[in-house]
Chain A
Amino acid sequence: MEPVLELDGLGVRFGKRDILKDLRIALSGRSIGLLGPNGAGKSTLIQTLVGFCKPSSGTARVLGHDIRREMAAIRALIGYMPENDSFVANMTAVSFVRMMAEISGLPHDAALERAHEALFYVGLGEARYRQLGTYSLGMKQLAKLAQAIAHGPRLVILDEPTNGLDPPARTRMIRLIQEMRDTGEMRLLICSHLLRDIEETCEEVLILKGGRIVHTSNLAEEHRSNKRFVELEAYGPHAGFAEELIAAGCLCEYSGLGRFRAELPEGFDVQAIFRLAAQRDLQLRRLNYRRDTLEEIFLKAMES
């Protein structure tokens, strides 16, 4: 699959402060999530990719185009939904989306038709002749999404798409993003600090902290691999139990206070764990099946 995003030693500096430091990675998923705490550099990375910030070192390629030399080509291929309120208040939604599509290069008639289509697609069909200034926050978010997709981009960049939305509006937005992902017509780059949003919509995750990449994870592959994770809580003489589980074919780590986390290989019988525990007279007080959630991945990345 063609890489969506290739970061090649990318660094961004504002004044004397390094915001992004030597980012190196290639991502090619249908939907890529950018995660990180506030101030990690997520928005700066996005703004660099759309050409608002100049890289101070290295470079990046978006859909194969270099951000230093081919920004016009990149901008022709992307749709951008910014984090903050961005619109022209005294315009109707359809005029606004049409104008944005025309600026992207669509002829007048095609822009008008696609503006209607995009507004229907995001669920604003009935409100498309209303002034944007009269929209609620959720509707403004949807209008921003409509302008980002009206010109048919190959990559849509969404910066905090569920920002400020109430739960039903958030659910609608997430469902819309999932639909967009599943059409296969476009790639998505989603920036958020809400783990659930990313977990529900993204196949690949890039976690930033302090301007550096601290973790990458292919969520789709992890889902597909059907890994079997168990959490054990033991009471008694547990020294060497982890080694015994490893010898039995599990990937196991001791996480303190008698707790173990084990990844079971294909066809592994859980009864074997009970037998090993019984041999050393170890009480197993808890055994849960569970895989790493994004929250755990994220917290581990933050601790690292």
Chain B
Amino acid sequence: MAVYKRTYKTYDSVLTPAWSRFLTLPRASYGRLMQSKFLVIFLMASFFFPLGCTAFIYLSHNLSFLQSLNIPAGQFLQINANFFRFFCSFQSAMAVLMTVVVGPGLVAPDLANNALALYFSRPFGRTEYVAGKMSLLMFLLSLITWVPGLILFGIQCSLAGRQWAGENLWIAGAILIGLVVWDIFLSLIALALSAWVKWRIAAGGLILGVFFAGAGFGAAFNAIVRTQYGAVVDLRQVISILFFKLFRDDATVTALTAGQAWTVLGVAGGICLWMLSRKVRAFEVIK
């Protein structure tokens, strides 16, 4: 056992670069997060669909294997933009559930225990704090969204050949842009709601509510007013519309244009940032 002399001395040695200090927060939180068995099981479950897709891509390129199983190759879906769009839609739903599990524990405990004063009395600002907390969720969401998406695309390219890869490189861009934007958006919503609702369970319920109640409210609004614009409060529909547009599916009629969908995400993201700026402070002035 180490023996520590009971004395005080100042620290005069080397310091880490200021830009890298925000990484302390995800590093400190990651270990605690992984102590949750539920989260680990959920994280593993999130890889089932990508693994299934990998198997599907492999099988679709191994006709001899299919024939040996007496399965006609024509029954298989084509590996194309629609296949990847469906993958993105499915994993984006998993990302919502991951956000519900992880999100409430990000800011709420610090607010509940007045820890923000300790962070902000150091050379560490609100931007670094939000970036640190956000990077933890972004890391987990990336693990189950665009990272497996790009791996799938890489597998497909390696099996289908250079010509297919050259003609469909834009799909990789669509996967990356669509899912990274969705991950950022989910992280912002989780942080904002976690900052406003200190009770973790309520914050988790609220995150779910934003998506499900929003969808219900949008549908009711459409039915009553007989319009399509209820979709602006249905964030799942908004991201679906973006996926349709990013994957160049112009045949499907959508409630919003791509521009409108981007605007909805931008405005909602802006509201989240405003909510964070109101709550992530060293102390509150009670009026």
Contacts and interface: CB of A to CB of B under 8 A. Distances in A.
B113 A102 contact: no
Contacts of A267: none
A268 interface: no
A50 B16 CA distance: 21
B44 interface: no
A42 interface: no
Interface stretch (B121-129, B157-165, B175-183): B121-129
Contacts of B124: 75, 103-104
Nearest to A176: B8
Interface in A259-274: none
A106 B119 contact: no
B118 interface: yes
A171 B283 CA distance: 29
Residue among A78, A86, A110, A185 with max Cβ neighbours from chain B (10 Å)? A86
Contacts of B24: 99, 102-103
Contacts, number: 116
Contacts of B21: 102-103, 105
B67 interface: no
A117 interface: yes
Contact of B287 (A15, A100, A151, A183): A15
A47 B8 contact: no
Interface size class of B (residues with CB under 8 A): 35 or more
Interface of B: 2, 4-16, 18, 21, 24-25, 28, 32, 109-110, 112-115, 117-124, 281-283, 285, 287
Q: Give the 7 A-B CB pairs with smallest separation, nearest first.
A: A152-B11, A80-B121, A105-B15, A152-B10, A52-B282, A102-B24, A86-B114
Contacts of A110: 11, 13
Interface size class of A (residues with CB under 8 A): 35 or more
Interface in A60-85: 72, 75-76, 78-80, 82, 84-85
Given A15-B287, A87-B113, A99-B24, A121 B282 contact: no
Contact of A114 (B11, B281, B285): B11
A106 B118 contact: no
Given A90-B32, A121-B7, A152-B12, A76 B117 contact: no
**Interface majority SS on B: helix, strand, loop or mixed?**
loop
Contacts of A237: none
Contacts of B287: 15
Contact of A78 (B110, B113, B115, B121): B121
B123 A82 contact: no
Interface string A111-150: 0001011001100010000000000000000001001010
Given A52-B283, A89-B109, A91-B32, A82 B8 contact: no
A72 B120 CA distance: 10
B117 A103 contact: no
A61 B95 CA distance: 48
Given A78-B121, A87-B118, A100-B118, 9 more contacts: A51-B120, A51-B121, A90-B109, A104-B123, A105-B15, A110-B13, A116-B2, A147-B118, A149-B8
Contact of A104 (B6, B112, B122): B122
B16 A52 contact: no
Nearest to B283: A52
Nearest to B21: A103
11 contacts: A52-B117, A52-B121, A86-B113, A91-B28, A99-B24, A103-B124, A104-B124, A121-B7, A152-B12, A183-B8, A185-B8
